[in-house]
């Protein structure tokens, strides 16, 4: 996810030059948050949560993953929660065993197959309302580029896209059960019954080309997911809930020549829920001047997304910091002085 597009640092003097097409200001539709950062108007439906203190953002954060910018490696490190690829189980699976109260240990992945984040020796469930979720726009663009020089594959993929389009028009998301609202509603219902942990993924963020429209669609899905969770859970459960959305890496600070952005490093985490004291943009902002960028191209990460997750697990479940750093997030530095405990 391009955190510099979702929560735009319009107050940074370098931002407008880096994003001449993608960058906004409060005068051109950006929703001001604090006089320095503003929210992309595609996420306007999140503003009530911001105003009620049920939403915060953390800027300039990342996993320990650096340099290669591979979706596959980045996603693995995000979901396993280690310093590198040596971890083979998911950090949310390891969390299950670390929760001190047995009644809080049930977890579910809302997915057609168990994702890595919940994979491991501890019992977790997986459930979805269909066997497959449709390809997102970024995935379709990737496959178009991959098959561009192979006429046979390109022809077959075009046929597959036409078949998928016909199915969408015939059945629609509501009937197929694959919409983000359906997934979030299912997760919310699970969390008000037997489960205390739930995870699901939202794709569509690989915005190399034509970012404005594609990003708006993905942000719309994120907005629907958070608001649907609140609606599905009801006030009592929502008041006790934290929602954390993280991404495998951010995007380049500069927009590219195809009105998009490429794989980067520093990004943005989203924290929502009735159990937080929100209405803040957190994080140690590094600035966007050329000499402040990582490798001259990326937002410099100044925080670790694992520390945010650890802080939420400490607050929600009472998992000791020593357990979090030894078992859930090996290699992480975390204690009760963490600024994220004030969220």
The rounded distance, in Å, linking the Cα atoms of 43 and 229 is: 16
From residue 199, give the alpha-carbon distance in Å to each of 18, 125, 216, 244: 34, 11, 22, 10
Same-domain check for residues 163 and 239: no
One domain for residues 24 and 101: yes
CATH of the domain at 76: 3.40.720
Residue 11: pLDDT above 60? yes
Same domain, 167 and 184: no
Query: 84 vs 66, 71, 77, 265, 295, CA distance in Å?
Result: 10, 14, 6, 15, 20
In this structure, the answer to whether residues 304 and 323 fall within a common structural domain is yes
Query: Band of the pLDDT at 162, cuts 50, 70, 90?
Result: low
- Same structural domain for residues 143 and 291? no
pLDDT tier for residue 155 given thresholds of 50, 70 and 90: confident
Helix (H) or strand (E) holding 268: strand 267-272
Domain stop point among 144, 177, 210: 177
**Residues spanned by the domain of 96:** 3-133+178-342
Domain finish residue from 125, 153, 177: 177
Q: How confident is the model at residue 188 (pLDDT cuts 50, 70, 90)?
A: very high
Domain shared by 260 and 211, yes or no:
yes
3-state secondary structure of 245: strand
Rounded to the nearest integer, the mean pLDDT of the chain is 91
Which of the residue ranges 107-121, 174-188, 226-240 would you say has the lowest mean pLDDT?
Answer: 174-188
What DSSP assignment string belongs to 80-102? H-SSSTT--S-HHHHHHHH-SSG
CB 26 within 8 Å of CB 263: no
Give the model's pLDDT for residue 95.
98
Could you read off the pLDDT of 239-250 as tens digits, one per residue?
Answer: 999 999 999 999
Q: Which of 127, 69, 99, 63 is nearest to 196 (CA)?
A: 99
Could you give the number of structural domains in the chain? 2
98 & 50 share domain? yes
Does residue 138 share a domain with residue 196? no
Give the whole-angstrom CA distance, residue 10 versus residue 19.
10
pTM metric for this prediction: 0.86
95/149 same-domain check: no
- Residue range 283-305, pLDDT digits in tens: 999 999 999 999 999 999 999 99
Residues 212 and 291 occupy one common structural domain? yes
Whether residues 140 and 80 share a domain: the answer is no
Phi, psi (5° rounding) for residue 263? Answer: -60, 135
Q: Are residues 161 and 198 in the same domain?
A: no
Neighbours of 14 (CB within 10 A): 15
């Amino acid at each position: 996810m391009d955190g510099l597009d979702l929560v735009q640092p319009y107050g940074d003097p370098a931002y407008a030059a880096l994003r001449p097409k993608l960058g906004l200001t409060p005068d051109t539709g950006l929703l001001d948050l604090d006089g320095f950062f503003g929210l992309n108007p595609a996420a306007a439906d999140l503003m009530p949560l911001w105003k009620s203190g049920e939403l915060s953002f953390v800027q300039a954060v990342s996993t320990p993953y650096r340099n290669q910018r591979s979706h596959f490696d980045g996603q693995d490190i995000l979901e396993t929660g280690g310093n590198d690829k040596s971890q083979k189980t998911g950090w949310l699976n390891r969390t299950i065993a670390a929760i001190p109260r047995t009644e809080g240990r049930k977890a579910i992945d809302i997915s057609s197959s168990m994702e890595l984040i919940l994979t491991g020796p501890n019992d977790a469930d997986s459930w979805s309302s269909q066997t497959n979720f449709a390809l997102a726009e970024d995935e379709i663009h990737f496959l178009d580029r991959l098959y561009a020089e192979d006429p046979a594959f390109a022809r077959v993929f075009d046929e597959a896209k036409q078949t998928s389009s016909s199915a969408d028009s015939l059945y629609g998301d509501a009937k197929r059960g694959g919409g983000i609202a359906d997934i979030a509603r299912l997760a919310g219902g699970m969390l008000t019954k037997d489960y205390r942990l739930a995870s699901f993924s939202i794709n569509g963020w690989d915005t190399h080309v034509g970012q404005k429209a594609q990003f708006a669609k993905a942000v719309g899905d994120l907005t629907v997911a958070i608001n649907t969770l609140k609606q599905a859970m009801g006030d009592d459960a929502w008041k006790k809930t934290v929602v954390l959305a993280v991404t495998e890496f951010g995007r380049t600070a500069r927009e590219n020549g195809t009105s998009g952005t490429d794989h980067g490093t520093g990004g943005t985490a989203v924290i929502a829920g009735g159990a937080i004291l929100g209405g803040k943009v957190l994080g140690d902002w590094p600035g966007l001047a050329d000499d402040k960028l990582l490798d001259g191209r990326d937002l410099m990460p100044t925080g670790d997304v694992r520390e945010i997750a650890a802080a939420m697990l400490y607050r929600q479940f009472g998992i000791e910091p020593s357990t979090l750093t030894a078992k859930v997030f090996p290699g992480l530095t975390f204690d009760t002085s963490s600024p994220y405990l004030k969220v």
